[in-house]
Structure 1
């Protein structure tokens, strides 16, 4: 009987040992599982690089434009006003870049009409022959969502709907093109 008892105790000890190993392995692997979940979780929404771009939609004529999560192409939101000298300086170059990269990038001009006069903004669009869609933020609600403070403000948003950069003020055409290339992978 002693041999049977020893064998049972040995088997029981082996089962306890294996159970302890399994529990220890599970505990050690859980932080990794949490980290993976955190990496795949959608970023929170906000007006800063690395955050999901605040959503909006605008109806202009028969077309609807907006930002709300993943999209086919990255987008640049260009907030401007007709009285803004840097906006006037930037408009021709932004227009050229919008045409050059139209297959891989959307550019949305957003006139902050709450701080402008719509007829002047419409003249601005005609004067600079803007080829990209232009929206009129009549109440400044979109500009407010993006914590707008200066003109021009360019918000670069990737295909996943995440802000990659917010540019305050005007950049040279070369600097802006470098940022477009980085954003689009072109």
Structure 2
């Protein structure tokens, strides 16, 4: 009788191990506790993204902050910024490739630029994502922007995963985007 009990216990343990190793989202929640969302808001990785709503050049309103259907990349730029010009074609590709899981919002920091040059930049580089103007740099200041470009990566839960100052290689930027959309 004892021997049968030990065999049964071993079988149950092996089944448990097999299920755990082949877990999907439903099984994962049974074995792992969900990570609690931060409660503090601020322009820093690991905190909730400071919320804002801004109107794009297309006339639509765009909202950042809180839970979203897709991850968000905020791209702060200026038309005269050479690294921004280098990055623009890559952002175009990323916007197209990840359109089902990522929203890219361009923010032209118009305080350090002007609307006419921003519109010419959008046309020249075929920017295919919403662009907002920031005439007082209030959105830029909200995320403590320091250089152009500044990219803020925000997951679907509204948590900042990373703030990228300056330009990355296309390969490195896509690697970060892939990680972001999986989170």
Q: Same fold by TM (over 0.5)?
A: yes
Report the 3-state secondary structure (helix = DSSP H, G, I; strand = E; otherwise coil) of the residue aligned with 2:88.
Answer: helix
Question: Could you list the per-position Cα deviations for residues 66-94 of structure 1 after superposition, in whole angstroms to 9, with x for gaps in the alignment?
Answer: 20211000000000000100000000011
Ranges of 4+ aligned residues in structure 1 off by more than 3 Å: 39-42
Q: 1:168 aligns with which of 162, 165, 170?
A: 165
- Alignment partner of 1:44 is 2:40: yes
Give the drift of 1:117.
1.3
- Alignment partner of 1:74 is 2:45: no
- Alignment partner of 1:105 is 2:99: no
Q: Give structure 1 stretches of 5+ with no counterpart.
A: 1-35
Q: 1:84 aligns with which of 71, 81, 86?
A: 81
Give the drift of 1:42.
4.0
The residue number in structure 2 matching 1:177 is: 174
Question: Is the Cα contact below 8 Å between 2:49 and 2:66 reproduced in 1?
Answer: yes
Aligned residue pair count: 149
Q: 1:55 aligns with which of 51, 55, 73?
A: 51
In terms of Rg, which structure is larger?
1
| 1:15-30 mapped onto 2 (5 Å cutoff) | none
Give the drift of 1:51.
0.5
* Structure 1 or 2: more helix by fraction: 1
Q: Distance in 2 between matches of 1:41 and 1:135?
A: 28
Give the drift of 1:41.
6.0
Question: Could you list the per-position Cα deviations for residues 7-54 of structure 1 after superposition, in whole angstroms to 9, with x for gaps in the alignment?
Answer: xxxxxxxxxxxxxxxxxxxxxxxxxxxxx9xx6464200000000001
Question: Is the Cα contact below 8 Å between 1:80 and 1:111 reproduced in 2?
Answer: yes
The residue number in structure 2 matching 1:28 is: none
The residue number in structure 1 matching 2:115 is: 118
- The TM-score with structure 2 as length reference comes to 0.78
The residue number in structure 2 matching 1:150 is: 147
Q: Give structure 2 stretches of 5+ with no counterpart.
A: 1-32
- Call closer, same or farther: CA 1:129–1:44 in 2, change over 3 Å: same
The residue number in structure 1 matching 2:136 is: 139
Q: Distance in 2 between matches of 1:100 and 1:40?
A: 30
Report the 3-state secondary structure (helix = DSSP H, G, I; strand = E; otherwise coil) of the residue aligned with 2:151.
Answer: strand
Q: RMSD over aligned Cα, in angstroms?
A: 1.6
Report the 3-state secondary structure (helix = DSSP H, G, I; strand = E; otherwise coil) of the residue aligned with 1:155.
Answer: strand
Question: Is the Cα contact below 8 Å between 2:38 and 2:47 reproduced in 1?
Answer: no
